[in-house]
Homo-oligomer: A and B are copies of this chain.
């Protein structure tokens, strides 16, 4: 792998991201890239309507992380959060299984307000990023609703019902993604201009596949000459956070970085797996590099972003 400093201003980078793991790598990229060269396309498959509000958990996690406003302990929501409104909701017999902090509610209220005024989710996200002083471009994958469903015991569950309300305990037989959802014009333009597309270490099935499912994102990655590099969310046979490992087991897959690489298959030019899996990784059909992928602080996010890009630029011809 190359050791030299990248001339990063030469490249346009798009990062496909879900929630926590995606937000961390996006933050690493934001630390090292000129803002005008970085676009983060975020999963909106787990967005939902709740208590009258439009809630976009992955967009919020990415925004809060890049704004330095994320709650690092919970991995979701805002730092310095309070829970007065949710306490009142519970007192009044309302649904309190999806924990909305008071500060976080501010985001949902403004988003819902602007959507009701007729703005697209892309425009609303631009507005919120402006006020959070976030410089890279954050885009929803689509301005259309694109709800991910999780099939459990033959029954389709709305994503947040399964993920939060049921604490991802019901076993998953498959993920059901909507048909006929279109990417935004802005997301299409960013992908077309990209030299490198980084698939963040988010859940492949419920964070990344929903993005790839949005027309024509998968086709653009297959057909256009960008370098596509994915970082494994499975390290040492476990997910860093969340249900990816449990889902793989339930869907009859091996729980390994190898299986993740095979899941993405031909889409990839390069796969990044963790040093803990050195000697275990066995997807011969994919070019792979072994890096320290576990991001525990700002420095490790930055370092991983740097090393992933350094590996990817080798493939630009």
Contacts and interface: CB of A to CB of B under 8 A. Distances in A.
Contacts of A128: 92
A126 to B, nearest CB: 11
A178 interface: no
Interface stretch (A32-40, A99-107, A181-189, A287-295): A99-107
Contacts of A49: 116
- Report the copy number of this chain in the oligomer: 2
Contacts of A104: 88
Given A54-B52, A94-B113, A106 B131 contact: no
Interface string A11-41: 0000000000000000000000000000000
Contacts of A78: 88
Contacts of A115: 52
A79 interface: no
B93 A127 contact: yes
Interface in A210-238: none
A176 interface: no
A52 B131 CA distance: 20
A59 B91 CA distance: 18
Interface residues of A, number: 38
**Residue of A49, A53, A88, A114 with most partner-chain B CB within 10 A:** A88
B109 A84 contact: no
A112 interface: yes
Contacts of A53: 52-53, 109
A268 to B, nearest CB: 37
Interface string A119-133: 000000001101110
A201 to B, nearest CB: 29
Interface SS of chain A: helix
A102 B88 contact: yes
A84 B113 contact: no
Nearest to A80: B84
Interface in A46-72: 49-54
A115 B94 CA distance: 12
Interface in A116-175: 116, 127-128, 130-132
B85 A109 contact: yes
A101 B82 CA distance: 12
B84 A102 contact: yes
A199 interface: no
A251 interface: no
A87 interface: yes
Interface of A: 49-54, 78, 82, 84-89, 91-95, 101-107, 109-110, 112-116, 127-128, 130-132
Given A85-B106, A87-B106, A93-B130, 12 more contacts: A51-B110, A52-B52, A52-B113, A52-B116, A53-B53, A82-B102, A88-B105, A89-B109, A91-B131, A92-B131, A93-B127, A102-B105
8 contacts: A85-B105, A88-B102, A88-B107, A92-B128, A93-B110, A93-B127, A94-B109, A105-B105
